[in-house]
């Protein structure tokens, strides 16, 4: 039975019609995300328009009922789990691409638009939106913005925050605010749209986004560099990012991940690879040969076993498909998986990789590393037996050490997954007390009653 006040239940039923759900079976469907955490909401709202979102927030505020915004639940940190009950607001029905403006290189969309559907709509205009997380085919633009999603292309084109021009959102007081403008330059007050990106629904509910678009590059080439060990590959990353040609993608894969990509993902990878880098260049065809030559030269060095170019687009697609299959493939190794996406300055990747290997040895657990090395953003996956108490304890201890190592070498807790529940209690390690106090003050301004996604992000 729902614990919502009867008056609120009646208000939301009248407001949303069949977009208001209180049946337990339907509520359960919206109570978990890809972190495998779950909690039962008291109700589920499926608004179709911003006016409904405004009215919904005002009604919930009047009754002090929590609100959790939700895209498609692909988040891995528990950010969409309604731990305090209340109302989950799913934006699946607000999925319109309102406008595509090629001349302004922007698109106006509602938050429920799938990233993959947006890319398909942009393709005839020879444009794309840069964020391309692994879940792009079924994650929403609103969810991408909520956690500042990135993906392999972020090394050249930036993550979600770098590719949003304006946002319309509903604050915790039920006020509709417009932040930013459909221009690529602006110096009119505070940069509030960038503040809302990555705030995980704790400050406002995004109801419309104006996105910065990029022309589709006319040509691209992929390279695969195989190394003797992870240290050699990590050193090559630092060399690649220190030279003038910026790769459009630069992915690091350690030996465990190489084996998975080969055995589970079907990639044609050598059995003696201690680590590899997947490198891509894009741009005008007339410059591509020179760019690939420069990237190949930077990739060369101690520990390089081979470097090859993908023979054609089919080979390139197969290589990247194997990379994107890595995260789900990890479930074949162990039932328990802690997947964190720490980020460090690129020059400190060798120190991070060496340190993680040492942590794995001390914990006597496999730790698989891969990710967006060009941004210093590595996915550190600690694998353990979920039904083994000793392994669970060692995994938790290893996670704490990974975070401490990351901060010690000048990095921070998340590059694109966000904080949610998983990393909330580690925030004081990464953020000073004065900065945390300022974050709390910002939260109180946008959401004075603390009803928006309570218990997330801030410790």
pLDDT tens across 138-156, in order? 999 999 999 999 999 999 9
Query: What are the φ/ψ torsions at residue 165 (nearest 5 degrees)?
Result: -100, -40
Fold exhibited by the domain 97-215: 3.30.465
Side-chain half-sphere exposure of 119, counting CA atoms within 13 A:
14
| Joined tokens for residue 191 | 């940069």
Give the per-residue pLDDT at 311: 64
| Joined tokens for residue 51 | 């006016």
Q: Answer whether CATH 3.30.70.2740 is correct for domain 333-418+425-444.
A: yes
- C-alpha distances in angstroms, 309 versus 271, 319, 403? 18, 11, 35
Give the per-residue pLDDT at 261: 74
Give the per-residue pLDDT at 335: 76
Average pLDDT over every residue of 20-29: 95
Average pLDDT over every residue of 97-123: 98
Where do the H-state alpha helices sit in 18-140?
Answer: 24-29, 50-62, 115-122
Average pLDDT over every residue of 74-81: 94
Give the per-residue pLDDT at 310: 76
**Average pLDDT score over the chain:** 92
Cα separation, 339 vs 76, whole angstroms: 8
Among candidates 57, 65, 67, which has minimal Cα distance to 30? 67
Q: Hey, which of 217-221, 252-256, 337-341, 437-441 has the most confident mean pLDDT?
A: 437-441
Average pLDDT over every residue of 25-38: 93
Cα separation, 278 vs 268, whole angstroms: 13
Confidence bin at 265 (pLDDT 50/70/90): low
pLDDT tens across 290-333, in order? 999 999 999 999 999 999 887 677 777 776 766 666 766 776 67
Cα separation, 115 vs 140, whole angstroms: 5
pLDDT tens across 185-201, in order? 888 999 999 999 999 99
Among candidates 83, 81, 85, which has minimal Cα distance to 69? 81
Residues of the chain with CATH 3.30.70.2190: 219-327
Query: What are the φ/ψ torsions at residue 292 (nearest 5 degrees)?
Result: -65, -40
pTM of this prediction?
Answer: 0.92
Strands (E), 204-303: 204-212, 214-215, 219-227, 249-254, 275-283
Query: What are the φ/ψ torsions at residue 321 (nearest 5 degrees)?
Result: -65, -40
Residues of the chain with CATH 3.30.465.10: 97-215
Among candidates 299, 289, 286, which has minimal Cα distance to 226? 299
Give the per-residue pLDDT at 27: 96
Cα separation, 153 vs 150, whole angstroms: 7
Instruction: Please name every residue paired with 376 in a beta bridge, in sequence order, or none if there are none.
Output: none
Is the model's pLDDT at 266 over the cut of 80? no
Q: Answer whether CATH 3.40.50.2020 is correct for domain 219-327.
A: no
Q: Answer whether CATH 3.20.20.140 is correct for domain 6-90.
A: no
Give the per-residue pLDDT at 455: 96
Average pLDDT over every residue of 14-24: 97
Residues of the chain with CATH 3.30.43.10: 6-90
Neighbours of 111 (CB within 10 A): 29
> For the purposes of burial, counting CB atoms within 10 Å of the CB of 13, is it exposed (0-12), middle (13-18) or buried (19 or more)?
middle
């Amino acid at each position: 039975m729902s614990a919502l006040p009867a008056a609120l239940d009646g208000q939301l039923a009248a407001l949303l019609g069949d977009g208001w759900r209180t049946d337990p079976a339907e509520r359960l469907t919206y109570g978990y995300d890809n972190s495998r955490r779950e909690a039962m909401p008291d109700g589920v709202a499926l608004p179709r328009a911003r006016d409904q979102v405004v009215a919904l927030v005002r009604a919930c505020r009047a009754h002090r009922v929590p609100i959790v915004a939700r895209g498609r639940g692909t988040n891995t940190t528990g950010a969409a789990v309604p731990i305090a009950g209340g109302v989950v607001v799913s934006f699946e029905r607000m999925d319109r691409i309102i406008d595509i403006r090629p001349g302004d290189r922007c698109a106006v969309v509602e938050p429920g638009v799938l990233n993959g559907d947006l890319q398909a709509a942009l393709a005839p205009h020879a444009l794309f939106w840069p964020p391309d997380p692994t879940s792009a085919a079924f994650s929403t633009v609103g969810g991408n913005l909520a956690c500042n999603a990135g993906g392999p292309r972020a090394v050249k084109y930036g993550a979600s925050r770098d590719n949003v021009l304006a946002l319309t959102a509903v604050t915790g007081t039920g006020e509709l605010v417009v932040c930013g403008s459909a221009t690529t330059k602006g110096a009119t007050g505070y940069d509030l749209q960038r503040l809302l990106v990555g705030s995980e629904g704790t400050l406002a509910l995004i109801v419309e986004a104006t996105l910065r678009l990029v022309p589709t590059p006319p040509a691209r080439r992929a390279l695969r560099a195989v190394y003797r060990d992870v240290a050699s590959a990590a050193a090559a990353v630092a060399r690649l990012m220190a030279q003038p040609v910026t790769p459009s993608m630069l992915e690091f894969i350690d030996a465990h991940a190489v084996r998975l990509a080969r055995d589970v993902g079907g990639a044609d990878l050598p059995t003696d690879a201690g680590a590899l880098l997947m490198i891509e260049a894009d741009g005008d065809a007339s410059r591509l040969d020179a760019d690939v030559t420069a990237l190949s030269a930077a990739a060369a060095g101690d520990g390089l076993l081979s470097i090859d170019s993908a023979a054609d687009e089919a080979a390139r697609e197969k290589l990247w498909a194997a990379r994107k299959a890595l995260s789900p493939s990890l479930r074949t190794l162990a039932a328990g998986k802690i997947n964190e996406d720490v980020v460090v300055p690129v020059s400190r990747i060798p120190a991070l990789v060496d340190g993680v290997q040492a942590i794995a040895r001390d914990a006597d657990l496999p730790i698989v590393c891969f990710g967006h090395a060009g941004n210093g953003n590595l996915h550190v996956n600690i694998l353990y037996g979920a039904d083994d108490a000793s392994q669970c304890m060692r995994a938790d201890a290893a996670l704490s050490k990974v975070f401490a190592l990351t901060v010690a070498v000048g990095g921070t807790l998340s590059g694109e997954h966000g904080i949610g529940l998983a990393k909330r209690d580690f925030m004081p390690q990464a953020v000073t007390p004065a900065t945390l106090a300022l974050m709390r003050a910002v939260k109180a301004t946008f959401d004075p009653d603390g009803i928006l996604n309570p218990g997330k992000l801030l410790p």
